[in-house]
Amino acid sequence: MGPQFRISNGEGLASSLSDEELMKRYQSGDEAAFEEIYSRYGKKIYGFLMRRLGQPDDCAELFQETFLRLHKGRSLYRPEMPFKAWVYTIANNLIRDRLRTRTRLGVSQVSEKDENSIEIPNGFHQMLSFKEALAKLTDDQREAIILSRLQGLRYEEIARVMGRSTEAVNQLIQRAMHHLRECLDES
């Protein structure tokens, strides 16, 4: 089972502050600021992890690790860097480490047990085609598409997360979109 998320009531000063201002407050010891950050980003980060890894147990573990590293590294955060890019970079680095470990150990991303337990309801063939097309992208292309189209990050933020130039991200996304269109046209 995935993490439990608190729904922010939108009241109070914290809801009107930017992410960067909340992080500055958290650096100063304001625990309520962390709660607001968690409320804003919990579901987004978990969704990002699920889209990249697809394994609920791995995602739950990396979700906790993301927020633990945010907590431990709060003194390293600099407000001139957009908070959104910073927290996604933490999660993305954890994903990369996990995928490298899987590759070294020879573990596939979807176990046979998980594959056999997946049921596809009628009417979801187009979604299945999209998932298959997404799986055919390179890791970098898939990462860029997920961050852009599914997580809503701007190219500049994706560039920071991926450690690339904005132009490189633009090219990755263009190639990925071209490949996705080709795959979906074939199906």
Domain boundaries, the chain: 1-118, 121-187
The answer to whether residue 95 scores a pLDDT higher than 90 is: yes
Per CATH, the number for 121-187 is 1.10.10.10
Q: Which of 35-44, 60-69, 112-121, 150-159 is predicted with the least confidence, judged by mean pLDDT?
A: 112-121
C-beta separation of 151 from 88 below 8 A? yes
C-beta separation of 100 from 154 below 8 A? no
Q: Give the fold, CATH level 3, of 1-118.
A: Rna Polymerase Sigma Factor; Chain: A (1.10.1740)
In this structure, what DSSP letter does residue 162 have?
Answer: H
For tokens 């709060």, name the residue. 74
Q: Phi and psi (nearest 5°) for 120?
A: -115, 110
Burial of 6 (0-12, 13-18, 19+ CB in 10 A): exposed
C-beta separation of 71 from 34 below 8 A? yes
Cα 80 to chain centroid, rounded: 21
The answer to whether residue 6 scores a pLDDT higher than 90 is: no
pLDDT confidence tier of residue 112, bands split at 50, 70 and 90: very low
